[in-house]
Structure 1
Amino acid sequence: MNADAPRAELNTDFSSPDAEPTSWARVEELLSAPRTFWISTVRPDGRPHVTPLIAVWRDGVLHFATGPAERKALNLARNAEVVLTTGDAAWDEGCDVVVEGTAVRITDEDRLRALAGAWEATYGSFWKFDVRDGAFSGDGGAAWVFGVAPRTVFAFAKGDPSGQTRWRLR
C-alpha cells in the first residue's frame, strides 16, 4: 500500500464475507478516467439538485466547471457542500465511487491553465478552454472552476464479491 494513500475501512455489514477493501489506486483510476460524474448540491429552499457533468482528478482534488448563472453555481454560493458520484453503469460488476466535500472556487490563473490542459488531455479538444478573469473561457462563455478536496470517499464494488469501502481524508 502506498504510504500516502488514505486508510480503507471495509464495511462488513454491506460487503460479501470474502470481500476486501477496494484499493485507493482503483478509486484514483476511476476518478481520473474520462467519464460522467453526477453532482449533488442543495437548492436555497433545501431541496436537492443533481446534474451530470465531467470532472478532472488532479493533485488529490476533484475539479468541475459550471457557468456562473447555472443552478449548481447558484446553489454553491449558499452552500458549498457537495457530493460527486461516478462509476460503472452495470449494476452487477465494476465499482461506483462517491466523493463528499466542500467545493472551493479556483481563480488562480496559473492553476486554471494547468486544469484547462488537464480537461483537454482527459476529454479531448472539444473541451479546450482559455483562461480569462479567473475562469475558463470557451464557446459557451465563462465557466467557474471548483475543486473538491475529498472529506469522505466511498467505493461500492459490485459483483462477487461485493464490498463497501470508506476513506476519511480530513
Structure 2
Amino acid sequence: MAETEPRAELDARYSEESATAADWSEAVARLRAAELFWLSTVRPDGRPHVTPLLAVWLDGALHFCTGAEERKARNLRENPEVVLTTGTDALREGYDLVVEGEAVRLTDEERLRALAAAYTAKYGAEWTFEVRDGAFVADAGVALVFRVEPRTAFGFAKSPYGQTRWQFTRK
C-alpha cells in the first residue's frame, strides 16, 4: 500500500517563481472528478500503446477495466507497468495529472462489487456491471478489472506554471 501522504516536491526547473507544491489531497480530488483518462501500456515488442478509458479512484488507487483480448489487456499480461494521465488540453488553464504504477488484476468479488457501484455512481446507469467469476460482466461482455496504486505521480499546474512530483513509500 502507498502511504496516505506522499512526499511532494516542486520542480523549480518547470515552475514559475510563485508556484508551490500541490497537496496530494488536491490531486486525489481531481482524480476522483476526472471523467476521462489515457492509459499507456507497452506492447510485447516495446512499442507504446495509448488509449482513452474511464477510471475510478477508490481506496488509494485508480481502477480501470478492459476486455481480456483488448490490446491493453494483452500488453498487461507481458508488462504490468502503466501510466494513467488526465487533465485538460488547454495551455494556460486547468491541471494535468500523471500517475505511474503497476496494474494489478483484481478478482475478489466483494471488492469488484464496490468498484462496480463506484463506476455507476460516477458515470451513470449505462456503466452498470454485474460481478461474476472475478470480473465485470455487462452487455458488451466480460471485462477484467485492474488496480493502479501510485508509485510516483506528477501534477502540472498552468496558472502559475508548476510541476509537483509526489513520491510514494511502499509499506
- State the TM-score, normalized to the length of structure 2: 0.95
Matches within 5 A, 1:55-94: 55-94=55-94
2:34–2:86 contact (8 Å) kept in structure 1: no
Query: For 1:16 and 1:93, how far apart are their aligned partners in 2?
Result: 14
- Cα drift, residue 130 of structure 1: 0.3
- Cα drift, residue 169 of structure 1: 0.7
Counterpart of 2:44?
44
1:97–1:153 contact (8 Å) kept in structure 2: yes
Q: Secondary structure at the match of 1:99?
A: strand
Counterpart of 1:166?
165
Counterpart of 2:109?
109
- Cα drift, residue 89 of structure 1: 2.8
Counterpart of 2:135?
135
Moved more, 86-95 or 115-124: 86-95
Instruction: Count the aligned residue pairs.
Output: 167
When the two chains are superposed, the root-mean-square deviation of aligned CA atoms in Å is 1.1
Query: For 1:114 and 1:79, how far apart are their aligned partners in 2?
Result: 26
> Which 5+ residue runs of structure 2 have no aligned equivalent?
none
Query: For 1:89 and 1:59, how far apart are their aligned partners in 2?
Result: 28
1:34–1:123 contact (8 Å) kept in structure 2: no
- Cα drift, residue 68 of structure 1: 0.1
- Cα drift, residue 137 of structure 1: 0.2
Work out whether 1:32 is the aligned partner of 2:42.
no
> Which 5+ residue runs of structure 1 have no aligned equivalent?
none
- Cα drift, residue 7 of structure 1: 2.2
Counterpart of 2:145?
145
- State the TM-score, normalized to the length of structure 1: 0.95
Query: For 2:133 and 2:91, how far apart are their aligned partners in 1?
Result: 43
